[in-house]
Chain A
Amino acid sequence: MNDAVRVESLYKTYDNGVTALDGVSAAFASGTFTAVMGPSGSGKSTLLQCAAGLDEPTAGRVFIGGTELTATKDTARTKFRRGRVGFVFQDYNLLPSLTVEQNVLLPLRLAGKRRKDPKAILGRLGLGDRTHELPERLSGGQRQRVAVARALVTEPAVIFADEPTGALDMRSAREVLTLLRAVVHEFGRTVVMVTHDPVAAAHADSVLFLADGRLAGSLARPTAEAVAERLAHLGDLTTRIAA
């Protein structure tokens, strides 16, 4: 199986001296749903943003679908990203001035690609009757579904999701997670999701653990209980090292 995303010894040190990533290497196979977990400050969000080309690693390389993303400049990286990478954020980041349909089509329009009918995707996501609404009129769960539709529209090699259920109630969260599963198993995409919620992680095919900017093991076919136990253990480990 091909790797949709591969990162090689990623390092990220911020201007204030904080090291968020301390040599992370990992590969995410095509057609899989992976959750990335770890205590706060473990570097999971930084890993996602560097892998997605939203942030620049201090050192290391990122490959998306076999093409190296690092070593390109911002504009080139943006152009590459909008064709090959989808991103779903905790706070949706939909443009408030654009309708649902315009939001979903925005990446295509920005890439200068031919307009495509978003009705199929929006209908599949249960938003068929909301296409001309502004985001402010939608519930959190609906907004996140629009964000998923926007991430899907360019048919990217990979979709990154950063705490996609962080701002949602339990029911909406479950809907979005089921949708992300469908994105992988029905649309054949690859999803990498950062979360701190063991229940959310249990929807993934496998879980990758991160602590102090380094890999700290993985878990296949996770259950919420198993994930919670591993996380608690990681927390203990971090505390012991700090002490």
Chain B
Amino acid sequence: MIAIALRNLKHRPGGFIATFVSAFLGAALLMAFASLMDTGDSESLTTTATVGGGWCLVIVAFAVTSTLSLSVRQRADQVALLRSAGATGPQLRRMIVGEAAAIAVLASAAAVPVGWVLGRVLLSLLKDTGQVDAGVGYQFGAIALGTGFGVTLLGAVAAAWATARRTAGNAGGKPERPRLRRIGAVLFLLAGANCSILTATVMDGKGVDAMQTAGQAGIWAAIGLALLAPELLRMVTAVVGPVVRALGGVAGELAVTGVHSRSRQLAGAVMPVVLFTGVATGTVYMQGIEDRAAEGQIQPEYAQDIQTLNYVVVGMIALFVAVMLVNTLIAATARRRREFAQHRLAGATRGQLLAMVSLEVVLVAITGVLGGSVAALFTIVPFGSARAGHLWPDASPWQYAVIVTLAVLLTAAATVQTTRRTLRGPATAAIRA
């Protein structure tokens, strides 16, 4: 079955691009942060590596698992075909896990030079800010490679194993287990709340160190809410649905009906929006609070530079999540080729389908932005309490507006553009494919 796995990779590389991209970028980020630990063990190096790397670790693991399970589910047809040809469950599992491991190794190997460059950039920023001695030489060694390859490979293999159990378990495919997903969501939310409470209590007065727990709080909460995406989507649709229906005509009606019956598939699109909005808002506002709190405490010539360093870290993570957002949406939309074709055969024009998808984007974006905003509060509120002494940050709302606009624009562009591409060519060809 490993032979089939490798043949699949060679024959249909397109189906694996999404997983490859998220594994590649994730491994590069992890390597960059971990290489700081290779470079030395001074406090600033370790802090930057653990704070930045710690945030990345969770996000990368989640990104790799979610894109991978999406791409495996996308191939349910092939799995069914192999099953009917006599492949046993364990054989299929070996194939799916083998593919995932191969992608993870390839992506991590390709990520080495990028991680090396990013790590150098981080080190030079640390040197510029005087946090690390100018004489320290950059090292990219065992910790960088171990973390990069290790996390990517483990995440991919674990996700492949779990997804394969579901898709390849029996001929009909086991139904999704919402209870397991909900329990997971609650656990993540509890972990987030725990970090929030720690930030507001134990870390109060510990200064900049509170960033570590506060940042984690938002990320755990964002993942918890992302796991609840189907439920959130149904709630939002219950409220906004009638408006969409009234304004969108038949396209609106199809969009709303689609949400009810395909909420699990559409939830795949909501997840990255929650994560992007939550992580970006949380980290940017936390940095804003930190900037104001640190005013006057650090030598003024360094204050600006340290801000730069922190925003570079925040920017790298936000960029990663943005790529993951686009990546996931493209994969989730391209997968609907057959469904779109069936609509067209029933008489839907391309314009009507684009209208339907755009209205779905509205529902997805509202749900994602709401979930993400709630997750960001897990970071902002306790950090504000610990660092600035009040819960609500006295920051301007324009950064939030930029993040939300970006989230909506990325969601709309990725989805509508992919739909447009998927609608090319005659519908009969799309049905056969």
Report if A95-B249 is in contact (Cβ < 8 Å); known contacts: A74-B350, A78-B347. Answer: no
B261 interface contact, C-beta 8 A: yes
A97 & B261 in contact (Cβ 8 Å cutoff): yes
Cβ proximity bits A142-167 to B, threshold 8 Å, 1 near / 0 not = 00000000100010000000000000
| 0 or 1 for each of A53-94: is its CB under 8 Å from B? (1 = yes) | 011100000000000000000110011011000010101011
Asked if B349 and A89 sit within 8 Å, CB to CB, the answer is no
**CB <8 Å contact, A54 and B426:** yes
Contact in complex: B344, A98 (CB < 8 Å): no
Q: Judging by beta carbons under 8 Å apart, are A110 and B345 in contact?
A: no
What B residues does A93 contact at CB under 8 A? 342, 345-346, 431
Q: Are A111 and B347 in contact (CB under 8 A)?
A: yes
- Asked if B346 contacts A97 (CB within 8 A), the reply is no
Confirm or deny: A121 has a beta carbon within 8 angstroms of a beta carbon on chain B: no
Q: How far is the CB of A216 from chain B (nearest CB, A)?
A: 24
B262's partner among A74, A82, A91, A97 (CB-CB below 8 A) is A97
Contact segment of A101-109, A172-180, A233-241: A101-109
* A54-B262 Cα distance, complex, nearest whole Å: 27
Distance between Cα atoms of A234 and B233 in the complex (Å): 57
Closest to A75 in B: B349
Say yes or no for B428: interface residue by CB 8 A criterion: yes
Given contacts A56-B426, A93-B431, A98-B257, contact A112 B250 (CB under 8 A): yes
A107 adjacent to B346 (CB under 8 Å): yes
B124 surroundings in chain A (CB, below 8 A): none
Complex Cα distance A78/B343, Å?
11
Chain A contact patch, size range: 20 to 34
A82 & B347 in contact (Cβ 8 Å cutoff): yes
Residue of A nearest to B262 (CB): A97
Known: A54-B427, A55-B426, A93-B342. A112 touches B249 (CB 8 A): yes
| Contact indicator A95/B428 (Cβ below 8 Å) | no
Bound-complex Cα distance A54 to B345 (A): 8
With a cutoff of 8 Å between Cβ atoms, the chain B residues found around residue A110 in the complex are 250, 346-349, 352
C-beta contact mask, B346-375 vs A, less than 8 Å → 1, else 0? 111111100000000000000000000000
Q: Which of B349, B352, B426 has the most CB of A within 10 A?
A: B349
**Minimal Cβ-Cβ distance residue in B for A98:** B257
Bound-complex Cα distance A112 to B349 (A): 12
B346 near A102: Cβ-Cβ < 8 Å:
no
CB-defined contacts of A19 to chain B, threshold 8 Å: none
Whether B347 lies near A102 (C-beta < 8 A) is: no
Bound form: Cα–Cα A74–B427 in Å: 11
**A30 interface residue (CB < 8 Å to B):** no
Q: Select one of A56, A78, A98 contacting B349, CB under 8 A.
A: A78
- At the interface, yes or no: B205 with Cβ under 8 Å from chain A? no
A79 and B346 alpha carbons, distance in the complex (Å):
11
Whether B350 pairs with A75 at a CB distance below 8 angstroms is yes
Minimum distance in angstroms from A15 CB to a CB of chain B = 10
Tell yes or no: B150 within 8 A of A by CB. no
- Asked whether A79 lies within 8 Å of B349 as measured between CB atoms, the reply is yes
Question: Residue A49 at the B interface, CB < 8 A?
Answer: yes
B342 near A95: Cβ-Cβ < 8 Å? yes
Which residues of B lie under 8 Å from residue A95 when comparing CB positions? 339, 342-343, 346
In addition to A74-B349, A110-B346, A134-B261, 17 A-B residue pairs with Cβ atoms within 8 Å of each other are: A49-B428, A78-B348, A81-B347, A82-B347, A89-B345, A89-B431, A95-B343, A95-B346, A96-B261, A98-B257, A98-B261, A102-B257, A103-B346, A106-B346, A109-B250, A110-B250, A110-B352
Which 4 A-B pairs have CB atoms at the shortest separation, nearest pair first?
A: A82-B347, A97-B261, A107-B347, A109-B250
Residues of B within 8 A of A (CB): 249-250, 253, 257-258, 260-262, 339, 342-352, 426-428, 431
A residues contacting B by CB (< 8 A) are 49, 54-56, 74-75, 78-79, 81-82, 87, 89, 91, 93-98, 102-103, 106-107, 109-112, 134, 150, 154
